[in-house]
Structure 1
Amino acid sequence: MKILFSVSYCLLFLFIATNLSIAQTMKPDAARLYNEGNKFLKEGKYQQAIGVYDKALKIQEDFRTFYQRGVALKNTGKLKEAKDSFESSIKAKPDFALAYNALGGIYFAMGKYQKAADNFQKVVDMTKNKIVKEKVQKNIAFAYAKLGDNAVSQGNPKKAITYLKKAVENSNYDAAYLSLAKIYSETGKYDSSLKAAENALKYRTTIGEGGPYYYMGVAYKKKGNIAEAKKMFDIAKKDPRYKRLAKYELTALR
Structure 2
Amino acid sequence: MLNKALRIPAADVLYKLRLFIQDLFHQIQNESVSDSITVYLGQIIQRDDFAILQKAFSNNNLIAFSQFLFCSTDQLRAICVAKRLSPLNDNFMSIIIHIDMPANTKCATISSCRYFIDNGKDVLLNMSTMARIVKVEKESLKENQIASIYSTLVLSESQQNIEQILESKRTEIKSFVPLISLIKLMVLMNQQIAAEHVVETMFNDDTSKENSTTQAEIAACCYCLTTSCHASLSIMSPNAFELSSLYASIGAMYLRLDTYEKCHEYYQKALDSQLDSNNPDLNCISSHTNNIGIIFLKQGKHSDAISSFQRTLKILQQITEPHDTELALAYDHIGDAYLSQFKYEEALNNYNKSLEIQEHILPRNLSALSSVNDTLGNVYLKLGRSREALMNCKRSLEYQKEYMLVAHSSFAVLYNNIDLMYYREEQYLEALENYCKSLEIASISLRQKSFINCYSTI
Q: Give the TM-score of the pair, scaled to structure 2.
A: 0.35
Aligned to 2:396: 236
Q: Does 1:170 align with 2:324?
A: no
Q: Does 1:118 align with 2:268?
A: yes
The alpha-carbon distance between structure 1 residues 189 and 110, as it changes in their structure 2 partners (threshold 3 A), is closer
Question: Is the 1:144–1:166 contact (alpha carbons within 8 Å) kept by the matching residues of 2?
Answer: yes
The alpha-carbon distance between structure 1 residues 133 and 90, as it changes in their structure 2 partners (threshold 3 A), is farther
Cα distance in 2 between the residues matched to 1:89 and 1:97: 13
The alpha-carbon distance between structure 1 residues 170 and 80, as it changes in their structure 2 partners (threshold 3 A), is same
The alpha-carbon distance between structure 1 residues 72 and 181, as it changes in their structure 2 partners (threshold 3 A), is closer
Structure 2 SS opposite 1:229: helix
Which runs of structure 2 are paired with 1:155-194 in the superposition (5 Å)?
156=300, 159-171=301-313, 172=326, 174-175=328-329, 177-182=331-336, 184-185=338-339, 187-194=341-348
Aligned to 2:226: 83
1:98 to 236, 242, 248: 242
Offset of 1:103 from its aligned partner? 1.9
Aligned to 2:376: 216
The alpha-carbon distance between structure 1 residues 124 and 233, as it changes in their structure 2 partners (threshold 3 A), is same
More divergent stretch after superposition (198-207 vs 139-148) = 198-207
Which runs of structure 2 are paired with 1:10-89 in the superposition (5 Å)?
50-53=187-190, 71=196, 74-75=199-200, 77=218, 78-86=221-229, 88-89=231-232
Q: Does 1:138 align with 2:287?
A: yes
Question: Is the 1:145–1:176 contact (alpha carbons within 8 Å) kept by the matching residues of 2?
Answer: no
Offset of 1:118 from its aligned partner? 0.6
Cα distance in 2 between the residues matched to 1:178 and 1:114: 21
Aligned to 2:424: 253
For residues 3-61 of structure 1, give each alpha carbon's deviation from its aligned partner in whole angstroms, at most 9, with x where no partner exists: xxxxxxxxxxxxxxxxxxxxxxxxxxxxxxxxxxxx9xxxxx9777523338xxxxxxx
The alpha-carbon distance between structure 1 residues 201 and 51, as it changes in their structure 2 partners (threshold 3 A), is same
Structure 1 SS opposite 2:190: helix
Structure 2 SS opposite 1:53: coil
Question: Is the 2:296–2:304 contact (alpha carbons within 8 Å) kept by the matching residues of 1?
Answer: no
Aligned to 1:200: 354
| Higher relative helix content | 1
Question: Is the 1:194–1:215 contact (alpha carbons within 8 Å) kept by the matching residues of 2?
Answer: no
Cα distance in 2 between the residues matched to 1:195 and 1:210: 17
Question: Is the 2:331–2:354 contact (alpha carbons within 8 Å) kept by the matching residues of 1?
Answer: yes
Offset of 1:93 from its aligned partner? 0.9
Cα distance in 1 between the residues matched to 2:277 and 2:423: 53
The alpha-carbon distance between structure 1 residues 129 and 250, as it changes in their structure 2 partners (threshold 3 A), is farther
Letter in 1 for 2:349: K
The alpha-carbon distance between structure 1 residues 73 and 232, as it changes in their structure 2 partners (threshold 3 A), is closer
| Higher relative strand content | 2
Equivalent pairs: percent with the same residue?
A: 10
Structure 2 SS opposite 1:188: coil
Letter in 1 for 2:291: F
Superposition RMSD in Å = 3.8
Question: Is the 1:141–1:173 contact (alpha carbons within 8 Å) kept by the matching residues of 2?
Answer: no
Structure 2 SS opposite 1:110: helix
Structure 2: segments with no counterpart, 5+ residues: 1-87, 89-181, 203-217, 256-261, 314-325, 359-364, 401-409, 426-458
Structure 1: segments with no counterpart, 5+ residues: 1-38, 40-44, 55-66
Aligned to 2:46: none
Cα distance in 2 between the residues matched to 1:247 and 1:224: 14
For residues 165-222 of structure 1, give each alpha carbon's deviation from its aligned partner in whole angstroms, at most 9, with x where no partner exists: 4134225464564354345345431211112212333455796223322332344455
Offset of 1:114 from its aligned partner? 0.5
Aligned to 1:108: 252
More divergent stretch after superposition (236-245 vs 118-127) = 236-245
The alpha-carbon distance between structure 1 residues 128 and 210, as it changes in their structure 2 partners (threshold 3 A), is farther
Larger radius of gyration: 2
Aligned length: 191
Q: Give the TM-score of the pair, scaled to structure 1.
A: 0.57
